[in-house]
C-alpha cells in the first residue's frame, strides 16, 4: 500500500473536523476526496502532507509510520489553488527548484526540466517569469514542479479552483494524462462532483468529517449507499418506498430507514408500466430543454420533485400542467439508499 490511514482523527475545540477515518491508497491510484465545504477534505489532506498533526490515529507511507514525520521528510509533492510559483525565478528555474534542493547533478536537472516542460506542453516558456504566463499556464508549471522530482505521492487541493470552466476541463485532461504517463499516486481534493467523476480511479465522498462512501466513480453513481451520496453525485430522484410500486402494484418493500433512488435517465413517461418495471404515479409540473435533452419535472404523492431525462429525439406526447402521469423504470434501476450513514 502506498498510503495507509488508520483511525485518523482531528478536533478543533469540541468540533470534529475529521472523525476517526481509515483509508488505503494503492500505488499509482488517483483518489479524489470529494465533499461539500467543511466536510473535512483539507483537514485530511494537510495531515497526510504533514502540515498538521492528528489527535489520534496513524499514517503510513510505503509501509513506514509517517504520522509525526515533518512535511519535508515525507517525499510528497503538493499543488494548491494559488500556484505559489517563485515570482523572480524563470519557469525553468521554478521547475528545477525541487531538484536543486535535492542536489541532483546539473545535467540531469536540465534534462528533467526539459522533459517536464514538454509534458505540460510549455517548452517555449522556459525563460519567462511567472507573471508572463496565464493562470492556466502557471498552474501547469506548478504541476510540473510538484511532479518533477518524482515524489512518492502528489497532493492537490482544488488545483483548478481559480480557473474558468473551459480551462478547467482542459486541465483535467492534462492532469489525467500526466498521471497516466508518470504513474504517480495522486490524492486530489475537489468539491466539484463532475471533476471527481471525470478524473478519479476512486472517489472518497466525505460528509460532516467522515467518509460517506468510498468507491469507483461508476459504482458510486450507480449504487449510491445513502441519500447524501445519491444527491451529491449526479441528478437523482429519492422517493419514499410507499410511492414506488412493483409489477403487482404493491409498494416496494425496503429495509428500515431506507428510501428508493432512481436516476432521471432511467425514468420513462409511459401510459402503461411494462411488466417487471417499478412505477409511480405523479403530476406533471414543468419541462426544461437543455439542447440535446429535456428534463421533465413532476410532483410525487408525498410532494417530492421527481424528474425524467428524455432525449429530444425521443420526446413523449405533449404534457399539460397538472396532468397525472405514470413514470416507469426497470426494477433493477431502483437503488435502496439509507437516510443516513450508520
Ligand X SMILES: Nc1ncnc2c1ncn2[C@@H]1O[C@H](COP(=O)(O)OP(=O)(O)OP(=O)(O)O)[C@@H](O)[C@H]1O
Query: Where along the sequence are the contacts to ligand X (CB under 6 A)?
Result: 12, 17, 35, 37-43, 191
Least distance CB 84 / ligand X (angstroms)? 17
Q: In whole angstroms, give the CA distance from residue 220 to residue 143.
A: 28
By C-beta, is 95 or 203 nearer to ligand X?
A: 203
By C-beta, is 191 or 279 nearer to ligand X?
A: 191
By C-beta, is 12 or 86 nearer to ligand X?
A: 12
Q: In whole angstroms, give the CA distance from residue 259 to residue 263.
A: 13
Residue 24: φ, ψ to 5°: -115, 130
Q: List CB contacts of 98: < 8 A, sequence separation 6 or more.
A: 77, 145, 148, 149
3-class SS at 120? coil
Least distance CB 191 / ligand X (angstroms)? 5
Q: In whole angstroms, give the CA distance from residue 295 to residue 293.
A: 7
Q: Which residues pair with 247 in a beta bridge?
A: none
Q: In whole angstroms, give the CA distance from residue 253 to residue 242.
A: 8
Least distance CB 166 / ligand X (angstroms)? 22
Q: In whole angstroms, give the CA distance from residue 142 to residue 97.
A: 11
By C-beta, is 202 or 268 nearer to ligand X?
A: 202
What does 275-299 look like in DSSP terms, one character per residue?
A: TTEEEEEEEEEEEEE-SSEEEEEEE
By C-beta, is 17 or 187 nearer to ligand X?
A: 17
Least distance CB 11 / ligand X (angstroms)? 9
Least distance CB 45 / ligand X (angstroms)? 7
Least distance CB 190 / ligand X (angstroms)? 8
Q: In whole angstroms, give the CA distance from residue 342 to residue 327.
A: 31
Cβ–Cβ < 8 Å for 54, 67: yes
By C-beta, is 43 or 138 nearer to ligand X?
A: 43
Least distance CB 232 / ligand X (angstroms)? 12
By C-beta, is 21 or 307 nearer to ligand X?
A: 21
Amino acid at each position: 500500500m502506498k498510503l495507509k490511514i488508520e483511525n485518523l482523527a482531528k478536533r478543533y475545540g469540541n468540533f470534529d473536523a475529521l472523525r476517526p477515518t481509515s483509508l488505503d491508497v494503492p500505488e499509482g491510484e488517483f483518489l479524489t476526496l470529494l465533499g461539500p465545504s467543511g466536510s473535512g477534505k483539507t483537514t485530511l489532506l494537510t495531515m497526510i502532507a504533514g502540515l498538521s498533526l492528528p489527535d489520534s490515529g496513524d499514517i503510513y507511507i510505503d509501509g513506514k509510520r509517517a504520522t509525526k514525520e515533518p512535511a519535508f521528510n515525507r517525499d510528497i509533492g503538493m499543488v494548491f489553488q494559488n500556484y505559489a510559483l517563485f515570482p523572480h525565478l524563470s519557469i525553468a528555474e521554478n521547475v528545477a527548484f525541487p531538484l536543486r534542493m535535492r542536489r541532483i547533478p546539473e545535467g540531469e536537472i536540465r534534462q528533467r526540466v526539459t522533459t517536464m516542460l514538454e509534458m505540460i506542453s510549455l517548452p517555449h516558456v522556459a525563460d519567462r517569469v511567472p507573471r508572463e504566463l496565464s493562470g492556466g499556464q502557471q498552474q501547469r508549471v506548478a504541476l510540473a514542479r510538484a511532479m518533477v522530482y518524482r515524489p512518492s505521492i502528489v497532493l492537490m487541493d482544488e488545483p483548478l479552483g481559480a480557473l474558468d470552466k473551459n480551462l478547467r476541463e482542459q486541465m483535467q485532461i492534462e492532469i489525467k494524462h500526466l498521471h497516466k504517463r508518470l504513474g504517480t499516486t495522486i490524492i486530489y481534493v475537489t468539491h466539484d462532483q463532475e471533476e471527481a467523476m471525470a478524473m478519479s480511479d476512486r472517489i472518497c465522498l466525505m460528509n460532516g468529517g467522515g467518509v460517506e462512501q468510498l468507491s469507483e466513480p461508476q459504482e458510486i453513481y450507480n449504487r449510491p449507499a445513502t441519500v447524501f451520496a445519491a444527491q451529491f453525485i449526479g441528478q437523482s430522484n429519492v422517493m419514499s418506498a410507499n410511492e414506488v410500486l412493483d409489477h403487482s402494484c404493491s409498494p416496494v418493500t425496503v429495509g428500515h430507514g431506507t428510501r428508493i433512488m432512481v436516476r432521471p435517465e432511467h425514468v420513462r413517461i409511459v401510459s402503461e408500466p411494462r411488466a417487471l418495471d417499478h412505477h409511480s404515479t405523479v403530476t406533471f409540473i414543468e419541462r426544461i430543454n437543455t439542447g440535446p435533452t429535456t428534463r421533465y419535472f413532476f410532483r410525487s404523492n408525498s410532494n417530492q420533485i421527481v424528474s425524467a431525462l428524455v432525449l429530444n429525439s425521443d420526446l413523449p406526447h405533449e404534457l399539460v400542467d397538472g396532468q397525472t402521469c405514470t413514470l416507469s423504470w426497470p426494477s433493477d434501476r431502483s437503488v435502496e439508499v439509507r437516510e443516513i450513514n450508520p
